[in-house]
Amino acid sequence: MTHKVTLIPGDGIGPEVVQAAVRILEATGVKFEWESFAAGAEAFEKYHEYIPKELSASIERTRVGLKGPVTTPIGGGFASINVELRKRFELFANFRPIRNLPHIPTRYPGVDLIVVRENTEGLYSGIEHEVVPGVVESLKIITEKASTRISRFAFEYARKNQRKKVHSIHKANIMKLSDGLFLRCSRNVSKEYPEITYGEHIVDNTCMQLVMNPYQYDMLLMENLYGDILSDLCAGLVGGLGLVPGANFGHECAIFEAVHGSAPDIAGKDIANPTAVLRSALLMLRHIGEHEAALKIRNAIDEVYRDRSKLTRDVGGTAGTSEFADTIIRAMETQSAAATEEQA
Ligand code: NAI
């Protein structure tokens, strides 16, 4: 079977890390037909659209996307393509598993956390205006529908995957109506899952708690902005942004992308770590039912990290992006050869 997947290489380090992941995916033996499209500034140059119609049509058709980061101009310019894609395809659940890799020295070994972020509203609704010169207003939209939907996603995941606890993260002491509604929805949904311990923590305290003792948490459920910020904090707990994968799930389709951005400071130098996008691709393989290939890649990642001789700079090595990808492919080939020998 050939899997049709929409590919968005993105910009900055995007094309380098996505290309590395694609080579590794193809080396698993699974057949892919990639429908590749630019997005953001690059797409605008070519098509006069930040999200070309062809890209949207492709996602509607394939229902699965693998995406690199896309740069968003700061303090002006076009709105985030990343946010727009999530809204346009109702990819309401941003799922970010935070786990250590073997032999990466971090302050916290053995972290196993999941961040579940509401992806379609909050301050990311992008509704801003200048009231009078010198005064601007930015609206935070929280709805019962979206808050209940994301809470149900988190609790369903917890139930199906034997997770023990869900903490709803909020600032309802200050934003009594908006975060208060989010909290009420997660509290209500939690009652349907009595086997899962439910807790509530204020977001600023959560930052401190995570840095002091991340092991107290199992799953963190929150609205859009807190999810964005806490995901990067959690990435720091386990070795940095080069490692942490993500997935955007909707009822109709899913787009897989790393937590990190386009990293302009290291773009075009073949030094970015493709592990985060590769682990996102691994989530994609599971989503499309290619569990064996996912396991192959996972074992190869573990082996290459255990060996430590071909890691990228962000995790203490000297290897380049493509060299790291070659090493993963070689590790997969060695695994396959060993398995064949064992069978013989
Ligand atoms: P960033 O995540 O791009 O970079 C933060 C730091 O982490 C930088 O020092 C970078 O070199 C490092 N880093 C990130 N990914 C890495 C990797 N794979 N390997 C090694 N080091 C890595 O965040 P920043 O600089 O705040 O954002 C840059 C641009 O990316 C902005 O335009 C932002 O809007 C966009 N962005 C896009 C996202 C997406 O497409 N989903 C997500 C986050 C940011």
Give me ligand 1 centre to Cα 241, in Å: 8
- How many whole angstroms from 222 Cα to the centroid of ligand 1? 21
Residue 172: pLDDT band by 50, 70, 90 thresholds?
Answer: very high
Q: How far is the CA of 126 from the centre of ligand 1 (A)?
A: 20
Q: Are residues 61 and 140 in the same domain?
A: no
Mutate to test the pocket of ligand 1, among 262, 273, 279 (most ligand atoms within 8 A of CB): 262
Q: Name the residue range of residue 190's domain.
A: 120-221
In a domain, 86, yes or no: yes
Establish whether residue 245 lines the binding site of ligand 1, counting it when its CB lies within 6 angstroms of any ligand atom.
no
Of the three residues 221, 249, 271, the one that is the final residue of a domain is 221
Q: What is the per-residue pLDDT for 339? A: 78
**Atom 5 in ligand 1: residue holding the nearest Cα:** 263
**pLDDT band at residue 338, thresholds of 50, 70 and 90?**
confident
The response to whether residue 94 sits with its C-beta less than 6 Å from ligand 1 reads no
Measured in degrees and rounded to the nearest 5, phi and psi for residue 145 equal -60, -50
**Residue 228 is assigned to a structural domain of this protein:** no
User: What is the average per-residue pLDDT within 108-119?
Assistant: 96
* pLDDT over 80 at 195, yes or no: yes
**How close is the Cα of 173 to the center of ligand 1, in Å?**
31
CA distance 260 to 18: 13
Q: By percentage, how much of the chain surpasses pLDDT 70?
A: 100
Q: Which ligand 1 atom sits nearest the alpha carbon of residue 313?
A: 20
Tell me if 246 sits within 8 A of 94, measured CB to CB: yes
pLDDT (0 to 100) of residue 266: 98
Ligand 1 pocket check for 227: Cβ under 6 Å: no
Cα(175) to ligand 1 centroid in Å equals 29
**Of 192, 221, 250, which residue sits at a domain end?**
221
DSSP annotation of 3 reads E
Q: Are residues 248 and 331 in the same domain?
A: yes
Ligand 1 proximity of 320 Cβ (cutoff 6 Å):
no
pLDDT tens string 220-269? 999 999 999 999 999 999 999 999 999 999 999 999 999 999 999 999 99
**Res. 126 pLDDT band, cuts 50 70 90:** confident
Ligand 1 center to residue 229 CA distance, Å? 13
Looking at residue 7, its pLDDT comes to: 98
Q: Is the CB of 9 under 6 A from ligand 1?
A: no
Rg over alpha carbons for the chain, rounded to the nearest Å, is: 20
* 262 CB within 6 A, ligand 1: yes
Is residue 266 within 6 Å of ligand 1 at its C-beta?
yes
Q: How far is the CA of 70 from the centre of ligand 1 (A)?
A: 9
pLDDT score of 239: 95
Cα(266) to ligand 1 centroid in Å equals: 9
Q: Which of 221, 246, 277 is the last residue of a domain?
A: 221
94 closest CA partner among 121, 55, 126: 121
Residues 63 and 98 occupy one common structural domain: yes
Cα 276 to Cα 257: distance, rounded to the nearest angstrom: 8
**Does pLDDT of 131 surpass 80?**
yes
pLDDT for res 337: 82
The torsion region of residue 40 among left (phi > 0), alpha (psi -120 to 50) and beta comes to left
Q: Check whether residue 277 and residue 302 sit in a common domain.
A: yes
Residues 149 and 242 in one domain: no
Q: Check pocket membership of 122 for ligand 1, CB cut-off 6 A.
A: no
Residue 341 burial class via C-beta count within 10 angstroms: exposed 0-12, middle 13-18, buried 19 and up: exposed
Number of domains within the chain = 2
Q: Which atom of ligand 1 is nearest to the CA of 80?
A: 34
Predicted confidence band of residue 336 (pLDDT cuts 50, 70, 90): confident
**CATH number of residue 30's parent domain:** 3.40.718.10
For 53-102, write each residue's pLDDT tens digit.
Answer: 999 999 999 999 999 999 999 988 898 999 999 999 999 999 999 999 98
Quick check: CB of 118 below 6 Å from ligand 1? no
| pLDDT of 180 | 98
Q: Residue with the nearest Cα to atom 8 of ligand 1?
A: 263
Reported as a single tens digit per residue, the pLDDT across 287-317 is 999 999 999 999 999 999 999 999 999 999 9
pLDDT at 238: 96
Q: Is the CB of 257 under 6 A from ligand 1?
A: yes
Relative to beta strand 112-118, strand 122-132 is unpaired
Mutation choice for ligand 1 from 78, 86, 260, CB with most ligand atoms inside 8 A? 260
Instruction: Identify whether 232 is part of a domain.
Output: no
Q: Residue 122 in 3-state DSSP? A: strand
Q: What is the pLDDT of residue 270?
A: 97
**Domain shared by 54 and 24, yes or no:** yes
